[in-house]
Structure formats: C-alpha cells, structure tokens
C-alpha cells in the first residue's frame, strides 16, 4: 500500500516544479535582455551597453538572452512564442514603426514608458516627429532607442578597388556600379559580397536598389498605395537587382551577413550593400577607415537615409520590472548612447551627444541623418506590417531562383492588397 503522505508530498513537489517552469522567474537582482546581437561587432556593442548599466546598477545579474541570426530572423519567432506563452523577457530589441506597434503593442505585450520620457527630458533629446512618433500609440510611447542605423550603405575594400583601377567618388550611380562590377568580373573577382543564409540580406539589397530607382518620394507612394508594385519603375529596379546576381559570390547562400563582410575584408569580394552594423565588424577586425575599407550610399540613394533604428521595450508583467526600467533609463542616457553606437556603427538617437567622440564614418552618417530624406525600412519591420515583410522576403527568395519579373511584381501587388485589407 503506497504511503499517502509521500504521494501528497510528491504531488506538491511536482505542482511547484511545474509552476516554476511555466511562470516567469522573478528575482530582485536579475535582468533579462533579449536581442539578436551576436556577431562580433554586435556583441561588442551590446557588452558596452551592459557595462554602462552595470556601473549604474552593479548588483544586478544581466541575463543575455540573445538569439543568433542577423536581422532577427531567428530571434523574432522565439520571442513571439515566449510572449504568447506569457514568459516574456524583461525587455527586448524592436524596430520602431509596424514591428513595435503591430507585433508587440497591439497584442498587449508592452507597457508604455511615457513617464520615462517626461522624467528624463527625452522629449527634447530625441527627434520627435521622426522617431518618437513611430513608437507612439494613443499618445503613449512604448520604446526608447539605443541607436539609428543607416541601411543604404555600399561598403568596399579600398585596396582591392585601387588595384583594379576603380575610383569611388562621393556618390555612385547604378551605371558606375555596374561598370565597376564588369571590371572586377573581367579580373575574376565577384564584385558583390552577399551573405543571405538569412534571406533578409538579399531583400535588403533589393530594398536599397529599389530606393535608388524610385527615390524617397516613390518609396512613400509605394507604401501608401499611391504607387503599385508592378509600376514600370519598380520593375526597372527588379531588373537591376536580377543583374546584380551575376556579380555575386557563388557561396552567398551559405554565408551570414557578417561572413560576407569578412570576405570583403579578405579581398575575396569588393563591395557589400549592408546596413552600417557592418561598420562594427570592420572595427572589431581593426580595419582602418578609408585605408582598408570605404563606403558610399548604395547606388542612386544619396540624399536618402534608410532608417533601421533599434529600440528597447518594457514587457507587460516584466519579471524584473525595476531592473528593466533602470535598463531603459540607461539605454536612453548619453553615456550609453556614446559607448554603444561607437562600436555598433549606428548613430546615437539623442541629438545632444558629443560628436567629437565619433569617427569619420559616424560623422558622415550623422550629417546624412541631419539633411537627407528619412526612409523607413521594409526589410527591418518599420514600413509595413509583418505579413507584408514576410511576403517580401518570400518573393525575393523565389525571384533569386526564377528571376521572373512579372511573377515578382504580381506577388507583391497581391501581398500589398492583402496587407491593406488586413489593417
Ligand atoms: C537589424 C538591426 C541591427 C543589426 C542587424 C543585423 O535588424 O536593427 O541592429 O543587428 O539587424 O543583425
């Protein structure tokens, strides 16, 4: 005959165990930060942010819950599962715009942090029209930005271009780009380094190329529905994007974005169209600006700044709420913005930082941000709902295989229609 009191004790033990597995773990001195910053440059910058936080709050243990995969391609699905199960990290990385509002605020996963803007004078420190508004719903603000990346940058290996007699000026047209590609091809060098094991990297190459042809006004029209995805200008961009594939490194599908940047450093490829998180990789590898690597706006996009901003949220029901609030305060502080962005490649979102602490690339990007037309990125979740972003990535995957412009265009026309009717 089994011992009843033992059974009761065991049942109690398992009930407690189960509860502790499913409920978020709360503790007074812990903070869980979720992101996808795991490449060399990304994790160095994240560590810098952690160090500023640790100085302010030394007793708190930081749990770095980063999930590898550029652009958050693997992290975002993991996060969705955790949020849906009621097991949120205290704070997570999010792009402003559709991603923040549609994925996290509308379903009720975030707590507003409007008070932090008031108590820290952030209303004055961050650009309101452009950025705070992209994080606001019903007059409540839901994130604070760590930095702002410029998505439309074409990086190059300076020495390799010099050896091949290619000069890059302040701007580059698409024709100049293809002329350089032909020269390199004749010398047996794949001109364009791509690492699209995560398809977003090629989707971004297309995004940049599209912007180069339709311009910022066309971009606004396309995403407001005033221009269609089968417009002749859009198709022209698709044609240019197809042509670019003739100059890519053949192993692009096996590489991640940062591996492609490493290929560029080694001189295996000459160019890479990538957001300026690539800068963090050059820095990490001790590459020298201008001497080893250079940059120019992606062909045809000078005068536009593709915004890829990174914010942090406060989880509703954050297990470590006080630590999470202290973290957000830290992210928005001048110290953190200066330490983090120098290593990350992005520029501070605050406009009152000490510019002299930044190098030539950052100066260039800050100038561009101040005077150029801001363009929200579709690939990085700002310009359109998640379903459209997914359809965009899928359409790019298909196009890389069949190069069928009519299919590409009609798929996107349909996806845009669906996304409007779903709003
Ligand atoms: C973007 C993010 C950047 C950078 C990049 C590559 O979505 O905004 O901070 O991490 O992905 O992973």
Residue of minimum CA distance from atom 7 in ligand 1: 71
Measured CA distances, 67 to 24, 79, 110, 159, 172 (Å): 18, 9, 20, 35, 36
Residue 154 pLDDT exceeds 50? yes
Tokens of 353: 């930082």
pLDDT in tens, 42-91: 999 999 999 999 999 899 999 999 999 999 999 999 999 999 999 999 99
Q: How far apart are CA 103 and CA 109, in angstroms?
A: 9
Q: How far apart are CA 224 and CA 238, in angstroms?
A: 20
Distance 283 CA to ligand 1 centre (A): 16
From the CA of 147, give the closest atom in ligand 1: 9
H-state helical runs in 225-301: 232-244, 257-266, 278-284
Residue 21 pLDDT exceeds 60? no
Exposed e or buried b for every residue in 44-57, given b needs 16+ CB within 10 A? bbbbbbbebbeeeb
Distance 396 CA to ligand 1 centre (A): 19
The closest alpha carbon to 273, from 203, 354, 180, belongs to 203
Residue 169 per-residue DSSP state: -
Backbone angles phi, psi at 29, to 5 degrees: -130, 55
Q: Which residues form ligand 1's pocket by a CB distance below 6 Å? A: 36-37, 42, 70-72, 149, 277, 308, 310, 380
Pairing verdict, β 153-157 and 271-273: antiparallel
How many CB atoms lie under 10 A from the CB of residue 230? 16
Residue 158 per-residue DSSP state: H
Cβ–Cβ under 8 Å, residues 260 and 252: yes
Distance 63 CA to ligand 1 centre (A): 20
**Average pLDDT, integer, range 417-423:** 78
Residue 338 pLDDT exceeds 70? yes
**Average pLDDT, integer, range 185-198:** 98
Residue of minimum CA distance from atom 12 in ligand 1: 70
SS3 336: helix
Tokens of 205: 């190459």
| Residue partners of 420: CB distance under 8 A and separation at least 6 | 225
Residue of minimum CA distance from atom 11 in ligand 1: 71
How many CB atoms lie under 10 A from the CB of residue 130? 17
SS3 307: strand
SS3 376: strand
pLDDT in tens, 235-249: 999 999 999 999 999
- Which of 15-29, 118-132, 241-255, 340-354 is the least confident region? 15-29
pLDDT at 69: 97
Q: Residue 27: pLDDT band by 50, 70, 90 thresholds?
A: low
pLDDT in tens, 260-318: 999 999 999 999 999 999 999 999 999 999 999 999 999 999 999 999 999 999 999 99
pLDDT at 131: 85
Distance 146 CA to ligand 1 centre (A): 12
Distance 11 CA to ligand 1 centre (A): 46
Average pLDDT, the chain: 93
How many residues are recorded in the chain?
423
Tokens of 368: 């561009």
Cβ–Cβ under 8 Å, residues 215 and 160: no
How many CB atoms lie under 10 A from the CB of residue 264? 27
The closest alpha carbon to 260, from 242, 276, 246, 278, belongs to 278
pLDDT at 28: 67
Residue 5 pLDDT exceeds 50? no
Indicate the pTM of the whole model.
0.93
Ligand 1 pocket mutation pick from 308, 377, 381 by most atoms within 8 angstroms of CB: 308
Burial of 8 per CB tally in 10 Å (0-12, 13-18, 19+): exposed
pLDDT in tens, 99-132: 999 999 999 999 999 999 999 999 999 998 778 9
Cβ–Cβ under 8 Å, residues 403 and 331: no
pLDDT at 7: 38
**CA dihedral angle for residue 346, residue 60, residue 330, residue 86, rounded to 10 degrees:** 80
- Rounded CA Rg of the chain: 23
Residue 24 pLDDT exceeds 70? no
Exposed e or buried b for every residue in 350-373, given b needs 16+ CB within 10 A? beebeeeebeebbebbbebbeebb
Residue 20 pLDDT exceeds 90? no
- The residue with tokens 């503790």 is 27
pLDDT at 8: 40
Residue 420 pLDDT exceeds 80? no
The closest alpha carbon to 295, from 148, 130, 149, belongs to 149
Residue 23 pLDDT exceeds 50? no
């Amino acid at each position: 005959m089994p011992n009843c009191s033992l059974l009761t004790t065991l049942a109690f033990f398992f009930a407690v165990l189960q509860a502790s597995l499913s409920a978020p773990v709360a503790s007074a001195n812990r903070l869980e930060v979720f992101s996808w910053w795991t490449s060399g440059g990304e994790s160095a910058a994240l560590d810098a942010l952690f160090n500023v936080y640790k100085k302010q709050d030394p007793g708190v243990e930081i749990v770095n819950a980063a999930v590898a995969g550029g652009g958050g391609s693997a992290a975002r699905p993991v996060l969705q599962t955790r949020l849906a199960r009621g097991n949120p990290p205290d704070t997570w990385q999010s792009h402003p715009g559709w991603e923040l509002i549609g994925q996290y605020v509308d379903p009720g996963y975030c707590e507003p942090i409007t008070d932090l803007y008031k108590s820290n004078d952030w209303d004055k420190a961050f650009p309101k029209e452009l950025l705070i508004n992209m994080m606001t719903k019903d007059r409540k603000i839901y994130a604070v930005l760590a930095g702002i990346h410029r998505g439309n940058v074409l990086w190059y290996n300076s020495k390799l271009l010099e050896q091949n007699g290619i000069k890059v000026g302040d701007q580059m047209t698409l024709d100049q780009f293809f002329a350089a590609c032909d020269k390199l091809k004749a010398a047996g060098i794949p001109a364009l380094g791509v690492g699209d094991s995560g398809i977003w990297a090629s989707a971004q190459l297309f995004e940049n190329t599209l912007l180069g042809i339709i311009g910022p006004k066309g971009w606004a029209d396309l995403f407001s529905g005033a221009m269609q995805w089968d417009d002749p200008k859009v198709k022209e961009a698709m044609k240019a994007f197809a042509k670019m594939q003739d100059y890519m490194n053949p192993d692009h599908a096996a590489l991640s974005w940062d591996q492609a940047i490493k290929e560029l450093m080694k001189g295996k490829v000459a160019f890479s169209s990538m957001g300026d998180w690539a800068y963090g990789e050059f820095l990490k590898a001790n590459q020298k600006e201008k001497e080893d690597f250079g940059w120019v706006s992606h062909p045809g996009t000078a005068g536009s700044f593709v915004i890829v901003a990174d914010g942090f949220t406060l989880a509703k029901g954050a297990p470590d709420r006080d630590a999470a609030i202290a973290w957000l305060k830290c992210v928005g502080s001048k110290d953190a913005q200066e330490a983090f962005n120098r290593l990350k490649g992005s520029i501070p979102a605050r406009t009152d930082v000490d510019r002299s602490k930044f190098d030539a690339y950052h100066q260039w990007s800050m100038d561009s941000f101040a005077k150029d037309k801001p363009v929200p990125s579709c690939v990085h979740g700002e310009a359109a709902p998640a379903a459209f972003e997914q359809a965009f990535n899928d359409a790019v995957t298909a196009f890389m295989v069949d190069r069928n412009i009519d299919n590409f265009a009609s798929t996107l026309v349909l996806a845009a229609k669906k996304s409007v009717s779903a709003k």
